[in-house]
Amino acid sequence: MAEGDGARGTPGIGRVMVATDRSETAERAVGWAAAFAERYGADLHLVQVVVPTHPADTEHGASEATRARAAADELGVYARHVAGDRGHAHVVIDDDPAHAIVRAAEEQAIDVLVVGNAGMAGRKEFLLGNVPNRISHNARCTVIIVNTTGRGEGPHAATMVLPRATIRTGAVQEETEPHLVARGTRIATVLAKHGLKELFGRPDEDGATGRRRQAKRLRAALEELGPTFAKLGQILSTRPDLLPPEFIEELATLQDDVPPLAEEQVVRVMEQELGVPWEDVFDHIDPRPLAAGTIAQVHRASLADGTKVVVKVQRPDAREQIEQDLALLEVFSEKAADRPGLRHVVDMGAVVEHLSASLHRELDFRQEAENIRRMGGVITRFPRLRVPVVHADYSTSRLLVMQDIGGGPASSAPEGPARREAARQLLESFYQQILVDGFFHADPHPGNLMWQPEEEALYFLDLGMVGEVGAEMREQLMLLLMAFWQEDVGFLTDITLMLTGAIDRSDLGVPAFQEELGALMAKNRGASLKDIQLGPVLQEMTEIALRHEVPLPASLTLTGKALAQMQLAAAELDPTLDPFDVAGRFLMRTVIRGMGAKLDPSSLFYHSQRLKVRFLRVVEAIERLIGARPGQKLEVNFRAATLETTIRRAGRRLALSLTAGAAILGTALTAVSERVSAVVPVAFGVVGGALTLALLIDLIRKRG
């Protein structure tokens, strides 16, 4: 007996129903169901849901009934065409297709219900991709969801869904290597199309003009190559330590606009991450995306309890495509290392390493949620600044659900004290982020700042890209800024070289380097404080360092760029804001707060003990160096108690001198500010004088 004959009359499968809306994808489900019913000798029932245009029409029943009769006639002809005498047609008027299909299956005592994974439309937004899931959750019979969006047809392209259980099968994925070869060929074709072979050898035209032309071609190629390469261009635009200025300027204009995801794609990702139908969590989702980027798409929504939220959904193919492109870029960077023309333009190994780390962080939305939480702690002392609340229960590595701010751009803030105060706190918070906490928003352009009118507060958005600064570099940055303000070019040069970590400075051309830094100081000396942009100053210092082959850390470049963006955003809110005045006040408070912490008895004892331990290590190192050991030839006696007394005295004097210096510096800074009461510099002067006098008395008493 043939296999098909043996299958006929199989107990338990006598009625098969398939849902259709007569679309192309639904017809694939009908074809699959017809073959399935034929195999088991079962009747085939086609069901179509007519969605009422207006609820009122349903109540009166006139126009919708006419539509339903016409649809029933057409569906009956279609059912007989695909299944002969075993074909039956059912048309239902309902605004909820999933509910109507499940009810029809129960009324007809259906054994197997077949639906496509796309092709159902309904009144509710985002119902398209959700119908199959809702049916599989609610139907009492066996449900087969047919893959009607892929290329495969037949049983191998279906997903079998049993009551309270799901068994998933699918076609074998395409091998990675052939895909990489195809992708590599595509990349090479695009590069050749834009004439970027010049980057691997000698350009047709030397100098800035040639580089500018190359930069335009590179930008166009990156835009054409898609998400990974668009992100590569964005990262490169923040790295003047890797690319010439012409490339930085051109890549800063690179756009990552991509076509928005289809509704069913968004729903599929959401339900994969949530593990339940989307309406179990959300009451409504706006089908129009707020933004569509290379990695994610953003929609407004409301939770089941009515809370307004914003949902960030990762593109379903983002991780796979990025991983494949990164694998190709790693191979490319290895080969590019031997190309002198390209190596002169950019260190591809460093670029790919930085790109990979950045993209992997951005692919994990849990990291962004942690960044939001951490930034909230950093700005907690600034009442005009906020971050959105993250709904952690609904957020995963590919889905981020956050508070919907419901405001407008920062520029929409009405003129008044709240706007000016927000501008000052915005700038001061950035000094706090960089110089104190070492954790800052790395992309604070105006589009990532939103004004909430009811709260009169400014919200930080899109914290997927952040920067971190270590404790040592934070101290060096603070000294660098203070040296610049004090116009001490020698100290500024020393601090800049300290940032490089270079010990041997003989080949760095220090005099010429110092001369250019002095010229930068002189240029800004004649400008008004309000005209000096701190971010651009740091960026120009970076360019000077690059010209003299002084390897500044890449984090300094990112810091300068972010500071420039933040200062521009603050200036947009309050053009009269004096960034140096804000910085001076902030540094003053930071220094005094730091001194206050060190004057704490427990802190003083800790630092003195730490200094003692380090001193003991130095003595031991000297003993080992000169061969000195306790014994008859040379005996080294070390009195820790005497050392401790000496250290305590030195610590006390150091604290007095630093605090006195801070008070005197406060006198100078507040005396020149027009926004400070005349009493403040006098108070600083009195405190500084008293501390200086106390220090002198201590020194005289010791000599006596």
Catalytic residues, by residue number, are: 443
Closest CA relative to residue 549, chosen from 596, 602, 523, 512: 512
Around 562, how many Cα atoms within 13 Å sit in the side-chain half-sphere?
A: 26
Which residues have C-beta within 8 Å of that of residue 681, sequence separation ≥ 6? Answer: 666, 667, 670, 671
Residue environment code for 606-645, b if the CB has 16+ CB neighbours within 10 A, otherwise e: eebeebbeeeeeeeeeeeeeeeeeeeeeeeeeeeeeebee
Provide Rg for the chain, Cα atoms. Answer: 35
Token code pair at residue 672: 């020149």
Structural contact between residues 557 and 547, judged by C-beta atoms closer than 8 angstroms: no
Structural contact between residues 408 and 285, judged by C-beta atoms closer than 8 angstroms: no
Burial class (CB in 10 A: 0-12, 13-18, 19+), 231: buried
Q: What are the angstrom distances between the C-alpha of 32 and each of 90, 120, 230, 241, 495?
A: 18, 16, 41, 59, 73
- 459 by DSSP, 3-state: which? strand
> What would the DSSP string read from start to end of 379-419?
TTT-TTEE-PPB-GGG--SSEEEEE----EEGGGSPSSHHH
Token code pair at residue 81: 């065409």
**Dist CA 208 CA 345 (whole Å):** 12
Q: Which H or E run includes 116?
A: strand 112-116
> What would the DSSP string read from start to end of 257-278?
--PPPPHHHHHHHHHHHHSS-G
Q: What single-letter DSSP state applies at residue 155?
A: G
Q: Which H or E run includes 162?
A: strand 158-162
Q: CA end-to-end span of the chain, whole Å? A: 120
Token code pair at residue 128: 């398209």
Q: Can you tell me which residue has the tokens 């220094």?
A: 591
∠ CA(400), CA(405), CA(411), 5° rounding?
125
Structural contact between residues 414 and 379, judged by C-beta atoms closer than 8 angstroms: no
Structural contact between residues 363 and 332, judged by C-beta atoms closer than 8 angstroms: no
Structural contact between residues 486 and 495, judged by C-beta atoms closer than 8 angstroms: no
